[in-house]
Amino acid sequence: QLHLVESGGGLVQPGGSLRLSCAASEWILDYNAIGWFRQVPGKEREGVACLNNRDGSTYYADSVKGRFTISRDSAKYRVYLQMDNLKPEDTAVYYCAFATAPPMFGLGYWREYDHWGQGTQVTVSS
C-alpha cells in the first residue's frame, strides 16, 4: 500500500521560500499523476501544482504560476514543491497526492487523486 509523507512546511515571512518534500513508499512512475494541493478551513481543497507522469504536462493554479514549481526525483521516490515569493494567502495545509488512474476531468482536480499524505502546515506571516 502506498504511503506518502510530506515534510518541509513551517513559518516563513512574506517574500520567502520553502521547499516541500513528499516521500513515497512506492515507485512514483507507477502512478499516472502526482500533485500538490492545499486547504484552509472552510474551503474546498485546491490544486496547486500537478504533474502528469505519462506526458509531462503540468497544472498550476493561477495564483501560484511563476512562483511555485513541482518536480520529482524518481530514483529517490520524492516529489517536491518549490515555493518562492510566498504570500500570506499561501498559508494552508499542503498535501501530496498520487493518482492511480489517468485524470479524466482535470489534472488539478483533487477528486482525481486517490492516495494522500497527512499534510504539512505552511504559514506565511511577518
Q: Report d(CA 80, CA 71) in Å as an integer.
A: 5
Q: What is the pLDDT of residue 119?
A: 97
Side chain identity at residue 76, one-letter code: K
Q: Report d(CA 94, CA 46) in Å as an integer.
A: 9
Q: What is the pLDDT of residue 106?
A: 94
Side chain identity at residue 114, one-letter code: D
Closest by alpha carbon to 11, among 120, 95, 116? 120
Q: What is the pLDDT of residue 115?
A: 97
End-to-end CA distance of the chain: 40
**Cell output for 31:** 502512478
Q: What is the pLDDT of residue 71?
A: 97
